[in-house]
Structure 1
Amino acid sequence: MKIPSITFKAPEPELKVIKSVTVYISEKHSEMIIAPISKEPKDSYHYEQKDCEIIDLTSSTEIIGEAIKRNFNKFDIKEKKEGMGKKSDWPALKVSKEKSGRGFEEKYRRISIRGITDRNSTLKIETVMNLPIGIELTSTISAHCEPSELGNRILKIYRSEITERK
């Protein structure tokens, strides 16, 4: 009796990713720019997606939290054809009210929000490039929290950010 050969193909490993989103806050312009992030699958670098969401800084904590959760879930893995690009190509800069990269970095404070593990059940919120002091603030919160709790935490971190006082 002849037994047909069976080819066995190992299952593809499930790609596990840590999602992230970047929030830019400007008191001068009274706005928040929420930039969803994508990951380049081949080179493993992260970049901002083209469609950023802008909300008023005076919005309720619930609206802020909902917008952040919505954009956090837009995280995607896709190839970026044009490479890293220049600062002037950043989607957040393009939708901001600033004309130059330098003006953008002076008027907007950046907060990074990412999952701690590939389950993305706990979020790590941290300030980024808090110059000239160089002290970064970090907080964690459940990804399953109420949107108002997340919005409140973002505003608390923003307001307590250590900056040079003149």
Structure 2
Amino acid sequence: MKIRSITFKVPEPELKIIKSVTVYISEKHSEIIIAPISKEPKGSYNYEQENCEVIDLNSASEVIGEAIKRNFNKFDIKEKKGGMGKKSDWPALKASKEKSGRSFEEKYRRISIRGITDRNSSLRIETVMNLTSEIELTTTISAHCEPSELGNRILKIFRSEITERK
């Protein structure tokens, strides 16, 4: 009796994707810039996509939540030619009313929204204030929540104050 040789092919590992989007809010300009993110597959870094959405800060929370969900779902895996680029090439800076990276960082507060797992069923919303006290605010919410709930959560975390006392 002959035994046939069985060849097993190791399956390709599935790429686990944790989506993200970055939100920039400016009270001075009364606007919200929503920057969808792409992941560079070879360099393993994330970068902002070219087309950012700009909405009014005084928009209804439902409109804010819908815009965030729409841009969260634009997450893509795409090669970026030219690497990380310069700060002046930053898509959110180009979409803003600021002329320099420094003034942009002073006038816009950044909020990062990421899936907690590769299922992206829960979202981690986190401030990115870069304070020397190393304190950031973080909250979680279901990705299946109503857009108005997401918009309200973003506005709450934006309006909460963490400052350093001298």
Distance 2:103 2:131 in 1: 14
Aligned partners of 1:35 and 1:161: how far apart in 2? 23
TM-score (norm 2): 0.92
Structure 1: 4+ residue segments shifted above 6 A:
2-7
Q: Could you tell me how far 1:130 is from its partner in structure 2? A: 4.1
Matched length: 165
Q: Does 1:109 align with 2:109?
A: yes
- Name the counterpart of 1:126: 126
For residues 87-98 of structure 1, what are the structure 2 equivalents within 5 Å?
87-98=87-98
Query: How do residues 39-118 of structure 1 correspond to structure 2 at under 5 angstroms?
Result: 39-118=39-118
Q: What per-residue deviation string (whole Å, max 9, x for no partner) do you get for residues 62-121 of structure 1?
A: 000000000000001111111001111100001100000010000000000001111111
SS at match of 2:15: coil
How far apart, in 1, do the equivalents of 2:52 and 2:43 lie? 23
Provide TM-score, normalisation by structure 1: 0.92
Q: Percent identity?
A: 86
Counterparts of 1:132 and 1:161, CA distance in 2: 15
User: 5+ unaligned residues in a row in structure 1: which ranges?
Assistant: none
> Runs of 5+ in structure 2 lacking a partner?
none
Distance (whole Å) between structure 1 residues aligned to residue 131 and residue 27 of structure 2 = 17
Query: Could you say what the CA RMSD is over the residues aligned between the two structures, in angstroms?
Result: 2.1
Paired with 1:55 and 1:165, the residues of 2 have a C-alpha distance of: 32
Cα distance in 2 for partners of 1:50, 1:6 equals: 49
Displacement of 1:165 after TM fit? 7.9
* 3-state SS in 2 of match to 1:33: strand
1:153 maps onto 2:153 in alignment: yes
**Conserved 8 A contact 1:130-1:162:** no
Q: CA deviation at 1:15?
A: 1.1
